[in-house]
Amino acid sequence: MEPHWDDMKVFLAVAREESLSGAGRVLKLDPATVGRRIARLEQALGAAVFVKSPQGYALSAAGERLLIHGEAAEVAMRAAGEALTGPSDRLSGQIRIGAPDGCANYLLPQICARIGDENPDLDIQIVALPRVVNLSRREADMAITVSPPSAGRLLVQKITDYHLHLVASLAFLREAPALESLQDLQRVRMVGYVPEMIFDEELDYLGALGIQRVPLASNSVSVQLRLLAQGTGVGVAHDFCLPSHDTLRKVLTDQVSLTRSFYLVRYHGAQRSARLTRFAEALCDGVRAEVARLESLT
């Protein structure tokens, strides 16, 4: 007996939420109904697709294999729906983007506002997370990352490079000892990430400079910049953030100039969705243009 597509949708929800109750909230079904659907699917397949534990529902080996085909079927169903609605000059529906804090706060608002102006029936959701967005759990339709993922069935494309420098406020620079070399950083208070919460080695700017102690730290770029604007110390900032903080100035530019990159990550098979592809193109074009515009102002 072949599985029903409705049961496959339930399977995908349980796989992503790792519980019957979580899947029920997503699907607007009671947990008992979700459980019956999973049981029906397992009967049709002749194999258990989940292993239940105190932590929730984990995929079995059979479930891992089914997940690949289930996600491919989901993408195909969405593409079929788009094809039946016919071509349109405008995007519609909901699209969710996951992005690191700096990009989500200083680039995406204006980019997504412009895309939204051009597509009034489109709902855009920006998810700012101080960690890697989990696409397999459908936390987002696509994500911007600072390094290309090396695992998983994903589509990855480089968007653009961006630059970072050491910065401090004018008030701090008036009062602090002169900063003439990297050794001078040992005598001032540093602002940066919480070391244990650096989720990508590309973000360990201060560690790469030999800074062992970060007296003022946050997992949020926005909080770090606000601390720096208060005149509390020296830290690393994206050049594209600086136009929003006119009291901050670059320091030691001849000794510290960092280059990082943004990547767009999507599900494998997402290229079959004309809607997501068009949005991805508009998003990448917008990020490139906005990074270039803001960096030219610093």
Least confidently predicted of 87-91, 177-181, 188-192: 87-91
Q: Three-class SS string for 221-276?
A: HHHHHHHHHCCCCEEEEEHHHHHHCCCEEEECCCCCCEEEEEEEEEECCHHHCHHH
Relative orientation angle of helices 5-17 and 31-45, to the nearest 10 degrees: 120
Local confidence band at 73 (pLDDT 50, 70, 90 cut-offs)? confident
Average pLDDT for 112-119? 96
Domains of the chain from N-terminus onward: 5-85 (1.10.10.10), 93-159+261-295 (3.40.190.10), 161-260 (3.40.190.290)
Percentage, residues of the chain above pLDDT 70: 89
At residue 99, does pLDDT exceed 90? yes
Model pLDDT for residues 242-294, shown as the tens digit of each residue: 999 999 999 999 999 999 999 999 877 666 678 888 999 999 999 999 999 99
At residue 116, does pLDDT exceed 60? yes
